[in-house]
Structure 1
Amino acid sequence: MQDVADAAGVSLGTVSNVLNHPAKVSPATAERVREAISRLGFVRNDAARSLVSGSTKSVGMVLADIENSLFIDMAHGAQEAARAAGQHLLLANTACDMKLQDDYLDLFDESRVTGVLLAPMEDSTVGIARIRSHGRQVVLLNYAPRPGTCCSVLVNNEHVGYLAARHLIDTGRTRLAFVVAHDDYQPVRDRRRGVRAAVEEAGGGVTLEEIDSVGLTASHGHAVGRDLARRTSRDVPDGLIVVTDELANAIIHELHTVAGIRVPERVAVVGCENNRAAGAAAVPLTAVDMPGRMMGQEAIRLLMDEVSAGKRHRHATVVLEPELIVRASAPL
C-alpha cells in the first residue's frame, strides 16, 4: 500500500480510503490511486487485514455431501444471504468424512472467517466447541445440537418420514417398507420415527417392513431393487418410503425399467428429500421437500445476529416444515 501511495503521490490513508471507503476520496484522486494499483499489480493482503481486525468478510460453510442437492440448495441460500450482509461465502465438502470436516473447521478458523455454517451428518460437538473457544461463531444446519452449544436451523425430519408414510397410507397402500441406512445419522433416525408413527396411527391394517440398504448411494438402491424384484409377488411391498431420493430413483429403475414391476401400479414410491433429480427420473418421484435454500438463508441470519449481539446473544433454533410434492411414482 505504501508503494501505491508513493506512485500515486498520496498518503497511505488515502489509499486505504480508496480500497475501503471510496466515497471519502475525490473521483480524480481515486482514479490516480486505481491506476497505480493496476500498474504495480497490487493485491490487497486479506490475511494481514484479518490479523488487525480479527476476522475477514467471509463465512465458511462446511457441507457433508456436495453431491446431494439439498446441500447445494443450502449453499445457494447462504450465498444469497451472505452477499446481502456484505460477506463472501467459502465452501468445503467433507464427503461425510469427520476427519476432513475437522480439517476444514480448523482451516476456516485459521483464516479468521466471520463465522462457520456447518451441515454435518454426525455429532460434531467437539469440533464446534474447539473453534467457538477461539471466538468463531458456528451455526448448525439439519442437525440438532446439544443444548446450549450453538444456533441451528433444522427441518422437522420426523415430519418428513411421517408425511411420506401417511401419503402412501392415504392412497390405499397397506404393505409398506422403509428403505433406510445409517441409523447413526440424526436425520435418518428422525425420519424413521416419523414413518413408524404414521404406521402406528393407521392401526393394524397397515404393516411396515424395514429394509437395510447398507448405504445411501445409487449402487445401494440398485441392490435393494434387485433384491425386491427376486421376491414372490405377494412378498413385494405395495408402498416404499425411501430415506433418500438417490436410493429411491435407483430402486425404481430396477423395479419398473428392468424387472417390469410397474411403479406406481404395483409399488408406489416416496422419497424423503425432493432433490434435483426427483422430477427428472423415468418415473418422476413423489418426495417430501426439504427447504434447503431457506435453511441457508436462515443460517446466515442467525450467524450475523450472533456476531452483532456479542455477549448479549442467546442461541436460537429455527425449525422449518417440509412439504409433500406429489408426482407419478405415488399419485393421489
Structure 2
Amino acid sequence: MATDRRAHSRSQPSMADVAAHAGVALGTVSNTLNSPQKVTERTRRRVLASIAELGFVRNDAARFLAAGTSTAVGLVVADLGNSFFVDIARGAEKVMRRQGMNVLIVNSDIDPDREVRNLQLFEQARVAGIILAPLDTALIRSERLPLQSTPTVLVNFESPSHAYAGVVVNERHGGALAARHLLDLGRRRLLFVGGPLFLGAVKDRYGGASAAVREVPDASLEVLETRGLQIRHGRQLAEEILSMGPGRYDGIIAAADLLAIGLIETLSPTEGFRVPQDLAITGYDNNHFASESAIPVTTVSQPGEEMGSAAADLLLDRIAAPESPRETVILEPHLIARRSSLGDIWLRD
C-alpha cells in the first residue's frame, strides 16, 4: 500500500523514519535538508529535532567511495520534450549534486525498446543507482526490469507489487481538481479526452474527474479516447468534435497540456466552439508550452522538482541500505487557472 509516512526499524534510520517521527511527508524532510526556505521555521525545527533524536546521518559521496561504489547515478526519463520530466531531472540533480554525486540523464523518447537499452547501459556502466521515470508498458507493470542488482527508484509510476520504492502524484485528485474547476465555473456538459485509457495516469485522471462530476446532479461527463497525448492527437480529436456541431459540450478536460493545445488550435477559430466562451478547456502537467500558447491553458500542475528531489533521496537511502522497505511517496497536484477556462478574468488576476 502506498504511503508518504512509514516508520522503519533498522539500525540506520532513513529519511522515511525521520518523516514518520516528525509527522510530516517525506518531501518535507527533503525540503528541510535541500531547500529550507520552502518550509516554515516551526516545521524545520521539528524535522531537525527528529533527525537529532533518531541519529539520522545524511548520505554523502564519501560513504559511497568508501564502499567502492560509483558516485554517478542514472536517470531514465520517458520524454524530455515534456517539461514535466525536465523538472524531475532538475530536482534529482539538485539533491545529488549536494551529495557530490553526478547524474547521467538519458531520454527514452517514448520508445519501449530504447528504455530497455538505457537501463542496460546504466547497469553495464555500474552506476550507483537508477531513477526511472518509465513508460506505462507491460515491462514495468510486470516488473521484470533488465537489472540485476542496481538500486532503482521509480518516479511518476507506482510499483504494483512494491518491488521498487517510488514517488507518484495523486492522479485521481488531479482529475477531480480539473473537473471541479469547470463545474465551479458553471459548466455542466463535460467531456474527458485522453488516451490510451489503459495508461494508468490517464485512467486515474478520468476516474477522479468522473467522481467529481457525479457529485453534481445536473452535470454529465462523456469520454473520447485518443491514441496519444500529443498536439496532433488533440487536432485529430477536435475535428471529430466539430463534426458533432456546437453545444454538445461546454467544458473539456484534457489528460495532457499538449492535447489541450491541439484542441484549442482547431476548435477556437470556429463559431460555437470558441475557447473559453463556448468551451472551457483544462490540461494537465503544467508543460511550459501551456502558459506560452496563444490561449494559455488552465492546467493541473504536478510538483516535478519535488518529485525528482524525493526520488533522489529515496535512491540515496536504497544505496545505503539495499534491504530497506520499498516505500511509495504520494505528492499532491494543484490547479493553475489560465485563460482557456477563465477568459479575460485571468488577465485581471
Same fold (TM over 0.5): yes
Q: Deviations over 1:183-211 (max 9, x none)?
A: 222111111111111111222x1111101
- The residue aligned with 1:307 is 319
CA 1:113 to 1:206, structure 2 compared with 1: closer, same or farther past 3 Å? same
Matched, 1:319 2:333: no
Moved more, 209-218 or 241-250: 209-218
Q: Post-superposition shift, 1:95?
A: 1.9
Q: 1:181 aligns with which of 195, 214, 218?
A: 195
Q: Which runs of 5+ in 2 are unaligned?
A: 1-63
Residue type of the partner of 2:202?
Answer: V
- The residue aligned with 1:66 is 80
Residue type of the partner of 1:257?
Answer: P
Distance 2:144 2:70 in 1: 19
- The residue aligned with 2:108 is 94
Q: Post-superposition shift, 1:233?
A: 1.9
| SS in structure 2 at match of 1:234 | coil
- The residue aligned with 2:239 is 226
Contact 1:58 1:90 in 2 (8 A): yes
| Pair member with larger Rg | 1
TM-score computed with the length of structure 2 as normaliser: 0.75
CA 1:280 to 1:129, structure 2 compared with 1: closer, same or farther past 3 Å? closer
Q: Post-superposition shift, 1:258?
A: 5.6
Matched, 1:292 2:304: yes
Q: 1:158 aligns with which of 167, 172, 197?
A: 172
- Give the aligned CA root-mean-square deviation in angstroms: 2.0
Distance 2:264 2:146 in 1: 44
Matched, 1:263 2:308: no
Distance 2:88 2:171 in 1: 16
Q: Post-superposition shift, 1:119?
A: 0.8
Distance 2:270 2:220 in 1: 27
| SS in structure 1 at match of 2:215 | helix
Q: Post-superposition shift, 1:127?
A: 5.8
Distance 1:128 1:214 in 2: 26
Q: How many residues align?
A: 278
| Identity score, percent | 36
Residue type of the partner of 2:233?
Answer: H
Residue type of the partner of 1:93?
Answer: N
| SS in structure 2 at match of 1:202 | coil
* 1:275-286 to 2 correspondences below 5 Å: 275-286=287-298
Moved more, 76-85 or 251-260: 251-260
Matched, 1:251 2:260: no
CA 1:211 to 1:61, structure 2 compared with 1: closer, same or farther past 3 Å? same
Contact 1:105 1:127 in 2 (8 A): no
Distance 2:186 2:176 in 1: 16
Matched, 1:216 2:234: no
Q: Which runs of 5+ in 1 are unaligned?
A: 1-49
Q: Post-superposition shift, 1:126?
A: 5.2
